[in-house]
Structure formats: structure tokens, C-alpha cells
Amino acid sequence: MQKPPIRQGGSAARVAVIPGDGIGKEVTPEALKVLKAVSAATGRSMEFVEFDWGADKFLREGVSLPDGAVEMLRDQFDAILFGALGDPRVPSNQHAADILLGLRFKLDLYVNARPVELLHQRLTPLLGRTEKDIRLMVFRENTEGLYVGVGGFFKKGTADEIAVQEDVNSRKGVERIIRFAFEYAQSKGLKRVCMSDKSNAMTFAHDLWQRVFKLVRQEYSGIESRHLYIDTLAMEIVRDPSLFDVIVTCNLFGDIISDLGAQLAGGLGLAPSGNIHPGQTSLFEPVHGSAPNIAGKGIANPLGSVLASAMMLEFLGWNMEAVALNRAVKAAVHENFVTPDLGGTHKTVEVGDWLAKLVSNASMTRPPTQSK
Ligand code: NAD
Ligand code: IPM
Ligand code: MN
């Protein structure tokens, strides 16, 4: 997933920050704190511009994703750090669909990369499993499927009502995510790719996934590729997660399997994700939502957002800085300097401060071959 900085001519990066709603507004400032600390420690500059898009603005002004926002982000920023969207005052979730799904679709962020990595044995609910057993990557198709909003109602509100939601799959869309999964496996020296669908029941849409998978896999003879139906994958990943290196699947199944994977590695509070189009402005966010049940209490886990920031740094080519963030998170977990969801007693802000301090004091040496 390592890409050169997408803006040419310098070591600075421009990052748009969208904290969003609920705990998005609590965890994102902590991730920013850690990003600022690492950039100060290595002397590389990162500029942040914050946007207040979310439920408050939507309820106040009726604006979700402002006009021109997509072009502005695409032209003026290298990456987007995103918190979460969702507010009980907006039961339709309209603003989240406009902003988050809007950015995924309109920036064509076709790769949703959701790594699952157990950082400490005590965090998994699976008896006897250790760090070496739970380390895999889920690639979720991020621009198509059941998410595109093709459908409608007929006789809405009557006893005869019909609701239709179409599953839209293009040959191009399926091929590029499957190919990305194989390329990723090859670049990381990973030996196993599993494609998951429901082609036994979804005989049109997922027949396409089957046919494309069979063609693409032929180009990667060094990689062991297999197919599992999504229901079987859900079972297998719990029975023996060590069987998987890379999983590639459609939009909806990827959403579900990545939450399942997150729990195998300690829960949603620790899970990061990247919404990526290689070489273009991409968006990084924790996998979790706005968690209204704990919002405002100061106990949200910021580690998912910090790990998402590390994915962003890697995407920008800031490898040394990415490693520093990953190491700091691992240290927090190992020293149990964590929030209550992971069994700790610390507040969101305390964890952010602790990570920022660690990152500031860490000795970092840039590998001589790494470009600035
Ligand atoms: P959620 O991820 O917000 O919360 C699920 C559970 O996990 C809750 O018990 C919550 O307290 C806990 N949790 C989540 N993140 C945590 C963290 N960082 N630290 C500690 N505990 C954490 O999912 P939900 O409750 O189903 O959804 C709430 C809202 O968020 C909804 O409006 C939903 O649509 C939205 N949502 C948004 C995103 C996003 O913006 N990417 C993702 C998922 C859900
Ligand atoms: C996620 C979320 C979103 C999704 C929701 C908020 C639309 O659950 O990012 O995983 O389903 O993609
Ligand atoms: Mn989700």
C-alpha cells in the first residue's frame, strides 16, 4: 500500500481533517496530536485543515457535503483523516451517506483496506490464539455493490409496499479490487488470498466475482488462492484465523467481516482502515462509528484513529513516521496504558498524550534509501 506522496515537489503533506460526530470528535484530536508530535520529531511538515462537516452543520444549515468539496479535497489535499459520522438526531443517516459514502464514491476510493492484527494475546476472545495467529488484511470493494443507492420504493407506506435495493457490480470494479488484493499479497510476500462471495445464491452479481477471480488468479501462480462463501468465511475466520493472509470481498460483506475481524483483535476501538485510490487523495478512518452510547464521556479508544493515521503516513510514503505510530500503539497495549474497552482505566486524552510523548522521544533514523 506504500505509495509515493501524491503531491510533487516537497516533503510537506496537506491533510484535510473531518472529525465528524460523536466520538469522532474525541478520537481525531488525539490522532492529530500524535501526528503533530511525529512530524515535529522528524522535522517533516504536515499541514492540517479542519472541516466541521457532520450532524451539527447538517441540522443547523441543511448542508452535508458542501458544493465543491470533492474537487477541493482532490485538488488541494494529499489525504483525509476522518473520524466518524452518525447521530441519533439524524435517524435517516442522510448526512453520513452524503459525506462518507459520497467521498468514497466520488473520489473513487475503490480499496477499503481493513487490517486485522492482534497486538497482544489478552485482547482476543479466541481461546489459545496468539499474535502469530491473527494477522490478516481485508480488502473490501468500496465503490459498488449494495451501497450505491440504486433502488426505490413502490407503494411506500401501504400494506403492499415494495422496497428494492440493487446490487451493482461492474466488471471493472470487481477486477480492480481482486487484482489489488493479489498485488498487495505479492508485494508483501504473503502467500494466501481468499475471495469471498455468495455466488451460490447471488447467481448474477457474484457469478461475475467468480469469473473475474478465476481469470485474475491465473496471473499469480505463486499465490495460493481460494474461494469461500461468506457464511463459511465467517465461521472459518473464528475457527482458525491463522488460515488467512488476505481476504477480498464485496462492499457489504467486507463491512461485516471487518467488524468480526476487529473483535478477534480486541474490538472496534483498535481497528483502522484506509479508503484508497492508489496515487490519488485517499481517506483514512477508524473502522468504528460515532458510538453515541459512550460519546461525551471521554473514554473512547483513540488507538484505531492513530493506527489509521499510521496507514495514512505509509500511503504518503512517510514510512519511518508510520512505524513510530504503530510502535507507540503497540507499546500502549503492552503497558496497558489503554481505555476501558481494552480493560484499562485511562481516558481518551491521557492515551493521546502518552502516545504523543512516546513518539516525540523515540529515536528515529530515516533509512538512507527513502525519498523525502
Ligand atoms: P459503533 O462503531 O459506533 O459502536 C459499536 C460499539 O462499539 C459500541 O458499543 C461502542 O461504544 C463501541 N465502540 C466503537 N468505537 C469505540 C471506541 N473507539 N472506543 C470504545 N468503544 C468503541 O457502531 P454503532 O453503534 O452501530 O453505530 C453508531 C453510529 O455510527 C451509527 O449512526 C452508525 O451509522 C455510525 N457508523 C459510522 C461509521 C463511520 O463513520 N465510518 C462506522 C460505523 C458506524
Ligand atoms: C463503515 C460503516 C459505514 C459502512 C456506514 C456508516 C455507512 O459501517 O465504515 O464500516 O457501512 O461502510
Ligand atoms: Mn461498518
* Annotated domain spans of the chain: 13-110+277-367, 121-265
Q: How many CB atoms lie within 10 A of CB 239?
A: 10
Q: Which ligand is nearest to the CA of 84?
A: 1
The answer regarding whether domain 121-265 maps to CATH 3.40.718.10 reads: yes
Q: Is 293 in the pocket of ligand 1 (CB under 6 A)?
A: yes
Q: How far is the CA of 142 from the centre of ligand 2 (A)?
A: 10
Q: How far is the CA of 256 from the centre of ligand 3 (A)?
A: 6
Q: How far is the CA of 14 from the centre of ligand 1 (A)?
A: 27
Q: Does 121-265 match 13-110+277-367 at the fold level?
A: yes
Which residue has a Cα nearest atom 12 of ligand 1? 291
Per-residue pLDDT of the chain (372 residues; tens, 9 = 90+): 444 556 544 568 999 999 999 999 999 999 999 999 999 999 999 999 999 999 999 999 999 999 999 999 999 999 999 999 999 999 999 999 999 999 999 999 999 999 999 999 999 999 999 999 999 999 999 999 999 999 999 999 999 999 999 999 999 999 999 999 999 999 999 999 999 999 999 999 999 999 999 999 999 999 999 999 999 999 999 999 999 999 999 999 999 999 999 999 999 999 999 999 999 999 999 999 999 999 999 999 999 999 999 999 999 999 999 999 999 999 999 999 999 999 999 999 999 999 999 999 987 766 554 443
Residues 352 and 34: beta-carbon distance below 8 Å: yes
Cα dihedral 331, 334, 335, 338 sign = positive
Q: Which ligand is nearest to the CA of 83?
A: 1
> Residue 18 contacts by C-beta under 8 Å, 6 or more apart in sequence?
50, 51, 53, 54, 80, 81, 82, 83, 99
List residues near ligand 2 (CB under 6 A): 96, 100, 255, 287, 289
Q: Which ligand is nearest to the CA of 101?
A: 2
pTM recorded for the entire structure: 0.96
The answer regarding whether domain 13-110+277-367 maps to CATH 3.40.50.720 reads: no
Q: How far is the CA of 262 from the centre of ligand 2 (A)?
A: 14
Which residue has a Cα nearest atom 12 of ligand 2? 255
Q: Is 344 in the pocket of ligand 1 (CB under 6 A)?
A: no
Burial class (CB in 10 A: 0-12, 13-18, 19+), 327: middle
Which residue has a Cα nearest atom 3 of ligand 2? 255
Q: How far is the CA of 296 from the centre of ligand 3 (A)?
A: 21
